[in-house]
Structure 1
Amino acid sequence: MSYKLLASASALALLFGGQAVAGADRSAAWQAQIGDTAAVQATAKGGAGITIGIVDTGIAASNQEVTGRVLGASSCAAVTFRCSNGVYDDNSHGTAVAAIAAGSYSPTPAISMSGVAPSATILSEKVLNASGTGMNSDIANGITKAVNGGAQVINLSLTYMTNSDIISAVNYAASKNVVIVWAGGNSSANLNNGANTSGLSAAALQRLILVGSVGSNNQISSFSNKPGSGKAGSTAYSSLWLMGNGDSIIAPGLQYGSTSFAYWTGTSMAAPEVAGAVALLEATWPVLMRNGTAAQVLFLTATDLGTKGVDSTYGNGLLNINQAFQPIGALTVTQANGKSTPVSSLTSAMITSGALGNLSAIRSQLSAYTTFDSFQRNFTSNLSGLVSTSSVATVVTPAPVSVSTPTTLGRHLAGGGFVMATGLQPVSFGEAVFGDSGANDVADRMFGARDRGMTAVMLADGRGDVAAVSRGMNSSAAFAQAFWGVDAPAADLTSHIGASTALLNLAQGGNASAIGASLGGRVRLAAGWSATDETTSSGLASNRTLSGASAAVVGATAQVTRRWTLGVSYSGLKETNGLLGSTYDGAGLLSFGGQHRSREVSISTAYDLGSGRSLLAEAAWVSADGAKLNDGLIRDVSNITARAWGVSFVQVDALRAGDSLTVSIRKPLRVSSGTADLAVTTVDDQGYAHTGFTRVGLTPDGNETDLDLAYGTVVRGALRLGGEVDFRSDAQNVRGQNDVAFRLAANLRF
């Protein structure tokens, strides 16, 4: 049985270095179908490292398109005729096919051209004579020699007529993970005249691609065969069929001169486009070669021209190289335990706290993270969005205005004590904007309004003993009153610093209590407790949608001199699915562990400077337990240390009687040491994935410094006005993130 070429050539009035012709870019004809492949070629390094076997009429190895990339192992594989010129192409067809598959990019003034895989290696096996014919044994030997010569993909731009020799050679190629690309034929008929093919192995059917031709209008070329309804075993030809462009493709035309080009037409031209695409894919992802799935990638990503894989004219559709380089199916990541998890399931992001900044080191790793598609191909994905921070204004803006209906009742007791009860029922965003109407229900759902009220009761006696309970309100102020004493200047200044209550502030929004007692007038003991809301798991200090926390603090102050008071306190924080205020899903991929305990030791010193002036300084040291993890992207977390400090000064009667001016500088809680082991997957040159661990620091990239200026004054006895300006440098401990906030308040006593 003889084979023939599946192409015709017409002269192109263009010599290399001669006058340019409109549309002379050889690749333009098929690039019009599949898009600009320059980016894909760059990603795939032009197919470097892949050898394309061209089983054809031989090759002109010195041709400018292929010179330097034709293997010396190329040979005459014919067994039924003598190759008087060795592997040299006596016809021009083989050189044209090789150039379309793997021609070099030649940006000359005359013609700019590029094969699909311009850096691939070419192995030519000559099996067709000068007239373009050969026998079964020639073709079978050419396939076998190409496989043994190291070809990873073999192009057959010749008649599809299989016999036992050819079947055996194709099965042998498939057993070596070689892809076979076979031109569909130029007879305007069904492949193999509708006859079925038998004997192909499952591996061969997985690696066989049959190619038809379309023109520039994406319609089947008049000469192109169709897959029809025939089958290879139980596999329909249509499911193995792909379309490429085979009309007027510019390629070397040796018949017109050694440096000439010609317009070539036929499925012979469409097939090497597909072979080059396979080379690009396997050069980028060797796993496709090992798994034998490059053909399936091209089939799934082809541009539909009918019913994909079933259509009796277009098969799977038109080759689309750009789409073939996009992920297929759900992307997955490899966890610390080696298991794969879909990226789409990573819906629960970590919300980081100011103590940890924006976790810049982890975000940096996640910004270029290795993910895998359903074909085990690695892609670089930006997963840094899994870590979110609370928004911080970068320009001067007014602080948010809270709308509320407060009610406060207070009564002074005999002996200097008092009792106070406060209720605060927030007015929802929707009600504030739309009034009490149905529209506010929609707005509340959009903006997450909370209907829970806030209450607090405080009792103090004349000796300075204090007891307070609250729900939904920040408990730090109550503890400060218990710690320093009611109406002590230091109690008010504590709120401007927050160092001694750093851990307490991370467990807010639920129930809280505080108690303080004076011992002999010079020493005070105090204790406080606070927790996040057990119902909504959402605190005031940070969004704890996925976590909860409780904190306890004990402390003592001692009046060292008439003006100097020294205080010490010890705090403990227990967090579920949280670490120093960060929150996450404990069962999610980005987790620091289900349970964490932190401890804080703080020292406070208050000094009465006289003349209505007071000074408070605080410093706090925090340590948090690490964690040993098995699942997720983080394996281990080390023990963590953090620090906070601040100084606050108040002047009473600064500008007028009854006013107060407060200036504060503070360094909020910030992690100073600590690391986590993040699972990082790399892929070697052979396409094997390796998951290891990279130790990343948890110290923020910024170092927040806050400057606060507050002023309050009494107007006409009953009305008190107050204002505050707060400037934050590296806000939330995020480098370069600065903001300014303005706050105004009014208090009218009845």
Structure 2
Amino acid sequence: MRKLHHLFLMTALASACQLTAAQTFAPTTSEYNWSTTVNQLGMRNIHNQGILGEGVIVAMLDTGLNLANPEFSNNSRILRGYNAVDGSSDIADNLNHGTHTTGILAAPGNGTGMYGVAPEASVLMIKVFNGGTAAASAINRGIDYAAANGARVINLSLGATSPTGDASLRAVAAANNAVMVVAAGNDSASNPNWPSRYAKESWTNGTMIVVGAVDANKRLASFSNKAGDTAQFYLVAPGVNIISSYGTGYAYLTGTSMAAPAVSGAAALITGYWPYLRASQVAAIMLNTADDLGAPGVDAVYGRGMLNVNRALSPIGSYTYRTANGGRTTVSLNTSGVMSTRPSVSTPSAFQGLKTEVFDEYGRNYTSDEGAALSGRSVMTLNSVLGRPDRMLDAAEQVLSSGSRLTRLQSRQTEVQQSLRVSAHNQSGEPWNHVQHADASVVMLRQASGLTFSAGDGGLSGMSLGLMGSSLASRLSGTDSALGNPLLGFAPSHQFAAMAMPLGRHWTGRVAAARSKAYDAAAGDVNLVELSYENGTQALNVSAGQLTEQGMLGGYSKRQLGLNQQTGTNGITVSGAWALNAKWMLTGAVSRTHTGAPSASGMLMAGTDVRADGYGIGLVRQDNWRADDRLSFTLNAPLRARSGTLTYSVVTGVNEATGDPVYGTHTVNLSPTAREWTAETRYVTRLSASTSVSAVAALRVHPDHDGSAPSQLAMGVRFNQAF
């Protein structure tokens, strides 16, 4: 004969509340505080996410259920029960044991009393007890009834000290459709009782879990049977002073009977979220995500350890990305994250909605918002606006015996910057101090023949390329950000080398190479060929470049999104300058680029060529209030895609019966609907050989080419002192 697995009734609590509906999960704070098991397992956030066990049938083989209890009265999730003793539908609970265990499992969050681990699971009460004992034949009939009526979890808060019939348990295990959760027993024994002790047998097929009881401090209760020879299939759960439904009110009970429905509830949550899982998978997930207690690893006291529902619902092992063409990309969850960035010619909204289902080690699907990592917005900072000091503070020029001139410019200094910044959202000025260390240099050798060699690092190629390599360069300072070849921006902190050769009167040819020193994966290398014309008052430069980068136009992502591959971009920039008079200089540039279509990779099934353009214009006035000071006005529109798409294969859902992916596609249109532009006013003057002051005001409109983004405003004053 089988006996109940609860020890004693501590306190009975009457309730006059009546339940009128059980369809909405809306517990109160006091209800949560009264839900001992839910509280101790830390499940509030799980339930708030809507993970409630809906649609899962849990069979409770117990003493019956009091339908007058406020948790179960008019509760549509309480199914028509079965009396395995006499074959009727009478499930009246004279002992209240079944009423208590069912509340732990599935009491609804309705503002009354407490609520259970799986508050929206469907309960199939099967009464197997006749008085305080249950015959083996009744238990077998109850198990058969549970399996025949769709139970995905079978809770047995009962046990015997000797082997009992296992025919029905074998059939359920073989079908691998229902997790069997069995209380370990309350005899303070070294091994669990039966039928839980069957868990170690190979015929159970990994579908049975044995449950011991711990107190609120996660210590094994003195009465609880230990894991013993079922350690591999043994969990512990709260089982001391557990409040739950009892009669028409509530009571605190203690025992492994109270611990078992906590595990059954967790099994219902997992099954409800992933109904295609086999019972053995559900059991393995809970066993493998338990918190280790006692001796390290699986031990004979705590077995696998404490049930951790949060970990059981979280992905395990790895994420596998699947595509319609059969491709799979697996990423270990232990792999450090990769910083993802979007192509700078697109807008953050381009990647919004790029979501796919990914699968963990057990084949469970999780929604991964891949586009979110590529949808970040950039912010115009004061550093980016103020830029470098207007001039290098360490300059040396030497005339060689051959008549060649060697010029060396170096910035290796500590800069104390005092600024006032204003944002579009906070119009009040905010004093700001910044100390930075710069390290960059350029070396130029000009031969008497006109042949010029230059090299440097720190991303300073712009000082000797394009119009900044002409005789008008000193008059263009402040507009250089709008004039250079934009491909160089994809090779941050680069080293460079360039050679310029006179081609005749007024004409110069130049070749250059820039190699990025940045350590981020999206950095690229640039090769340039330039042709320049100048006559003292006018200058024209045509710069053709080729960019090779690991990524695409500054965009980089995890390999599953296909933006970790090498791409090539060709571009041309035409810039010109015109000295209007001795003080005024007008300048401008226009750029166009063409990026080859990326190859299919990971989720990326196809892409098209990306074409982009940008422009900049500037006006500079020198010798305004001080000798050699400069006031500049610029309008700069960075590269923006005119065309280009990326098409991804995504998993839009799964077949709930089989877990097979349902495929779809998502196309990213890289061409924004708005164009970013920045208007800037800058004033620079030198106070001494080692000090200078610069002031700037910049307005950025449609940041990141996003027409809905608010404009950004930055204003600052910087004092530079070389030490």
Whether the aligned pair in 1 keeps the contact of 2:468 and 2:480 (CA below 8 Å) is no
Opposite residue 677 of structure 2, the aligned amino acid is: T
Work out whether residues 475 and 513 of structure 1, in 8 Å CA contact, stay in contact via their aligned partners in 2: no
> Cα distance 1:351–1:371, how it changes in 2: closer, same or farther (>3 A)?
same
Map Cα deviations across residues 357-413 of structure 1 (whole Å, 9 max, x no partner). 7x5644x568x8755544344456677668999985268996566997844326699
Cα distance, 1:196–1:669 mapped onto 2, change above 3 Å: closer
Q: Deviations over 1:110-160 (max 9, x none)?
A: xx211221110011223222x133322221121111011000000112224
Q: Judge conservation of contact 1:598–1:625 (CA < 8 Å) in 2.
A: yes
Q: Output one character per residue of 1:276-329: Cα deviation in whole Å (capped at 9) or x when no partner.
A: 121112212335x3262222332333344313664333323333334433444x
**Cα distance change of structure 1 residues 87 and 619 upon mapping to structure 2, 3 Å threshold:** same
SS at match of 2:119: coil
Alignment of 1:319 onto 2:307: yes
SS of equivalent to 1:349: coil
Q: Deviations over 1:29-70 (max 9, x none)?
A: 4345323x2222233532101100112233345643234345
Would you say the 8 A contact 1:647–1:666 is kept in 2? Answer: yes
Match for residue 486 of structure 2? 502
Deviations, residues 666-691 of structure 1 (Å, cap 9, x unaligned): 22333343332345445436254456
| Contact 1:399/1:741 (<8 A) preserved | no
User: Does the residue aligned with 2:288 lie in a helix, a strand or coil?
Assistant: helix
- Give the whole-Å Cα distance in 2 for the aligned partners of 1:134 and 1:348: 58
In structure 2, C-alpha distance between the alignment counterparts of 1:395 and 1:505, rounded to whole Å:
16
Question: 1:448 and 1:720, CA in 2 relative to 1: closer, same or farther beyond 3 A?
Answer: closer
TM score, norm. by length of structure 1: 0.76
Instruction: Assess if the C-alpha contact under 8 Å between 1:171 and 1:203 holds in 2.
Output: no
* Aligned position for 1:122: 123
Moved more, 173-182 or 199-208: 199-208
Contact 1:497-1:647 at 8 Å conserved across structures: yes
- What secondary structure is seen at the aligned counterpart in 2 of 1:105? coil
Q: 1:210 to 1:365 in 2, by over 3 A?
A: same
Displacement after TM superposition at 1:267 (Å): 2.2
What is the SS of the residue equivalent to 1:503? helix
C-alpha displacement of 1:697: 3.5
Cross-structure match for 2:419: none
Q: Distance in 1 between matches of 2:15 and 2:244?
A: 11
2:285, 2:340 → 1: CA distance? 35
Q: Which residue of 1 aligns with 2:233?
A: 240
The answer on whether the counterparts of 1:307 and 1:316 sit within 8 Å (CA) in structure 2 is no
Say whether the 8 Å CA contact 2:340–2:373 is kept in structure 1: no
Q: Identify the match of residue 619 of structure 2 among 629, 649, 673.
A: 649
Taking the aligned partners of 1:53 and 1:550, their CA distance within structure 2 comes to: 68
- Say whether residues 1:676 and 2:651 are aligned partners: no
Distance in structure 1 (CA, Å) of the matches to 2:240 and 2:560: 51
Partner-residue secondary structure (3-state), 1:286: coil
Q: Return the TM-score normalized by structure 2.
A: 0.78
Give the letter for the 1:498 counterpart. Answer: L
SS in 1 for 2:511: strand
Q: How far apart are the structure 2 equivalents of 1:205 and 1:261?
A: 37
Q: Name 1:515's counterpart in structure 2.
A: 501
| Counterpart code for 2:16 | G
Give the aligned partner of residue 538 of structure 1. 517
Q: Distance in 1 between matches of 2:223 and 2:629?
A: 95
Counterpart CA distance in 2 for 1:115 and 1:712 is 70
Shift of 1:625: 1.5
SS at match of 2:232: helix
- Corresponding residue number in structure 2 for 1:442: none
Amino acid at match of 2:319: T
Separation in 1 of the partners of 2:381 and 2:128?
72
Can you list the C-alpha shifts for 1:495-546, whole angstroms capped at 9, x where unaligned?
A: 25225x2235545522222335455xxxx5443332223xxx416xxx6666
Superposition pairs of residues 603-614 of structure 1, within 5 angstroms? 603-604=574-575, 606-610=577-581, 612-614=583-585
Structure number, greater radius of gyration: 1
Alignment-derived partner of residue 457 in structure 1: 445
Question: Which ranges of structure 1 fall in alignment gaps of 5 or more residues?
Answer: 229-235, 431-446
1:192–1:669 Cα change, 3 Å: closer
Residue number among 569, 572, 596 corresponding to 2:545 in the alignment: 572
Assess, with a 3 A threshold, how the Cα gap between structure 1 residues 654 and 193 changes in structure 2: closer, same or farther: closer
CA displacement at 1:486 relative to structure 2: 2.8
RMSD: 4.6
- Report the Cα distance in structure 2 between the residues aligned to 1:226 and 1:403, rounded to whole angstroms: 77
| 1:486 corresponds to | 471
Query: Quick one: structure 1 residues 746 and 44, their matched pair in 2 at CA, closer, same or farther if it must change by over 3 Å?
Result: closer
Moved more, 621-630 or 69-78: 69-78
2:567 and 2:89 map into 1 onto residues whose CA distance is: 79
- Give the equivalent residue in structure 2 for 1:275: 264
Closer/same/farther in 2, CA of residues 428 and 611 from structure 1, 3 Å limit: closer
CA distance in 2, matches of 1:146, 1:602: 75
Aligned ranges for residues 81-480 of structure 1 at < 5 Å?
A: 82=86, 86-108=90-112, 112-129=113-130, 131-160=131-160, 165-191=165-191, 202=202, 204-228=204-228, 236-254=229-247, 259-286=248-275, 289-290=277-278, 292-307=280-295, 310-328=298-316, 330-334=317-321, 337-346=327-336, 348-350=338-340, 355=345, 361-362=350-351, 364=352, 372-379=359-366, 392-393=380-381, 399=387, 406-409=394-397, 420-424=405-409, 427=412, 454-459=442-447, 467-472=452-457, 474-480=460-466
The alpha-carbon deviation at position 175 of structure 1 amounts to 1.6
Structure 1 residues 653 and 189: CA distance shift in structure 2, 3 A: closer
Name the SS of the counterpart of 1:339 in structure 2: strand
Q: Which amino acid aligns with 1:53?
A: A
Moved more, 621-630 or 567-576: 567-576
> How many Å apart are 1:244 and its aligned residue?
2.7
Aligned length: 678
Structure 2: runs of 5 or more not aligned: 19-29, 416-434
Inter-CA distance 49–515: structure 2 relative to 1 (3 Å threshold): farther
From 545, 569, 582, the equivalent of 1:598 is: 569
CA distance 1:515–1:637, shift in 2 (3 Å): farther
Cα distance, 1:553–1:697 mapped onto 2, change above 3 Å: same
